[in-house]
Amino acid sequence: MKKIILTGDRPTGKLHVGHYIGSIKSRLELQNSENYDEFYVMIADAQALTDNAGNVQKVKENILEVALDYLSCGLDPKKVCLFIQSEVPALTEISFYYMNLVTLSRLKRNPTVKEEIKLRGFEESVPVGFLTYPISQTADITAFEANIIPVGDDQKPMIEQAREIVRSFNTTYGETLVMPEAVVPKSKSQSRLVGTDGKGKMSKSLGNCIYLSDSEDTVKQKIMNMYTDPNHIKITDPGQIEGNVVFEYLDAFVKDDSFEKYLPEYKNLDELKAHYKRGGLGDVKIKLFLNNILQEILRPIREKREALAKDPQKVYKILFEGSDKANIKANKTLAKIKNAMGINYRANI
Ligand code: TRP
């Protein structure tokens, strides 16, 4: 069976280190493994509009920002098809047919959508487009016959819903669609990176993000202000690891050679944690260590981003060429879908 990968992000803001560790890093590993047949990364502008109807400009601007983030992290348009969702009209048409295979009560049960509705304070006034975006996401996935979907934990219910729609379509109209599978990050600290304030997931609306495009000084400042253990006042006080943002980030970002490079008096994270718990290890030291590790990751990304940002036309060209390719594939699948459903009237008359 072919290995087809598809994933994407809503362009509602610049990408942050939570995106990097939760999804971009594994996309780069997949890309560099070259162990796949097709690889699509979609900028989900149409999905972003489902709760931004009045903010089209914001979504539009962030298409470029997200594309810059992708490219500066190393996603290679020669290996990966980068495209814009709204540039592929077949996705909308496919969604319309899938809508007949899903009940309203099933949509309302989707835990991620439920959570998002609460967060946005929609209550009963939730836009139909928003409630039904898991259907459109199923169209995104199936239009490309994708079977490998690398996503964060919060997207698992979307893939579950997509699998139900695929099953329902295939039983109703005959075996047509490919069954997708979610691939989620290995560890919790990676799949759900906490914000710098320790209050919850890193998210733009909470103002607790470190962006891939932040300057060196901004990154350092955000790290120095990170939430640690409020009871760890004097260096000699015993400290808590649990809920300590600096340690959560170290869990997610530390590399085999980080200690040797930046903190040679410790062998590994376990030793560092043990010292912190015992007392005698100050917050400034662990923060500066984290700063070194993050700056090493972010420096090349920032430099590449600054260079790319000087030529937005070049970035759009990449996205439009990707969208042209995406259209060819999605139109083929749409034809298969209409065939299976028996609504290919012109072919039969
Ligand atoms: N829902 C995803 C997000 O919130 C974006 C997305 C849209 C997506 N379509 C997709 C992800 C298809 C994986 C596959 O970021």
7 lines ligand 1 (CB under 6 A): yes
User: pLDDT per residue over 144-170, tens digit each?
Assistant: 999 999 988 889 999 999 999 999 999
- Is residue 220's pLDDT more than 90? yes
143 lines ligand 1 (CB under 6 A): no
| Ligand 1 pocket: which of 88, 149, 155, 191 to mutate (most atoms within 8 A of CB) | 155
Range list of H helices, the chain? 17-19, 25-33, 45-49, 56-73, 90-98, 104-109, 111-119, 128-131, 133-143, 156-173, 188-191, 216-224, 245-253, 258-262, 269-278, 283-309, 312-341, 345-348
Residue 116 and residue 112: Cα distance in Å, rounded?
Answer: 6
Give, in order, the Cα–Cα distances in Å from 161 to each of 10, 101, 109. 19, 11, 10
Atom of ligand 1 nearest to the CA of 10: 15
pLDDT band at residue 280 under the 50/70/90 scheme:
very high
Residue reference for tokens 């609504």: 343
Residue 80: closest CA among 152, 5, 179: 5
Instruction: Pull the structure tokens for residue 282.
Output: 């100050």
Residue 101 and residue 93: Cα distance in Å, rounded?
Answer: 14
- Is residue 131's pLDDT more than 90? yes
**Kind and range of the H or E element at 150?**
strand 148-150
User: pLDDT per residue over 73-86, tens digit each?
Assistant: 999 999 999 999 99
314: three-class secondary structure by DSSP: helix
Q: What DSSP line would sit under 36-52, residue for residue? A: -SEEEEEE-HHHHHTT-
List, in order of start, the domains of the chain with CATH numbers: 4-193+312-348 (3.40.50.620), 216-306 (1.10.240.10)
The residue type of 100 is N
Residue 227, exposed/middle/buried by CB under 10 A (0-12, 13-18, 19+)?
middle
- Is residue 206's pLDDT more than 90? no
184 lines ligand 1 (CB under 6 A): no
Residue 126: closest CA among 117, 136, 116: 117
User: pLDDT per residue over 13-27, tens digit each?
Assistant: 999 999 999 889 999
8 lines ligand 1 (CB under 6 A): yes
pLDDT band at residue 191 under the 50/70/90 scheme:
confident
Q: What is the distance, to the nearest Å, from the Cα of residue 11 to the centroid of all Cα atoms in its chain?
A: 10
The residue type of 147 is N
Q: What is the distance, to the nearest Å, from the Cα of residue 250 to the centroid of all Cα atoms in its chain?
A: 20
Residue 232 and residue 235: Cα distance in Å, rounded?
Answer: 7
Do residues 293 and 250 lie in contact, with contact meaning Cβ atoms separated by under 8 Å? yes
41 lines ligand 1 (CB under 6 A): no
Q: How many CA atoms lie within 13 A of 100 on its CB side?
A: 8
pLDDT band at residue 190 under the 50/70/90 scheme:
confident
pLDDT band at residue 188 under the 50/70/90 scheme:
confident
Residue 245 and residue 252: Cα distance in Å, rounded?
Answer: 11
Q: Which DSSP state fits 86?
A: G
Atom of ligand 1 nearest to the CA of 6: 14
Give residue 8 CA to ligand 1 midpoint distance, Å: 5
Write out 172-221 in H/E/C secondary structure.
HHCCCCCCCEEECCCCHHHHCCECCCCCCECCHHHCCCCECCCCHHHHHH
43 lines ligand 1 (CB under 6 A): no
pLDDT for 204: 84
pLDDT for 185: 81
Residue 45: closest CA among 29, 58, 57, 63: 63
Residue 215 and residue 335: Cα distance in Å, rounded?
Answer: 48
Enter the pTM of the model: 0.94
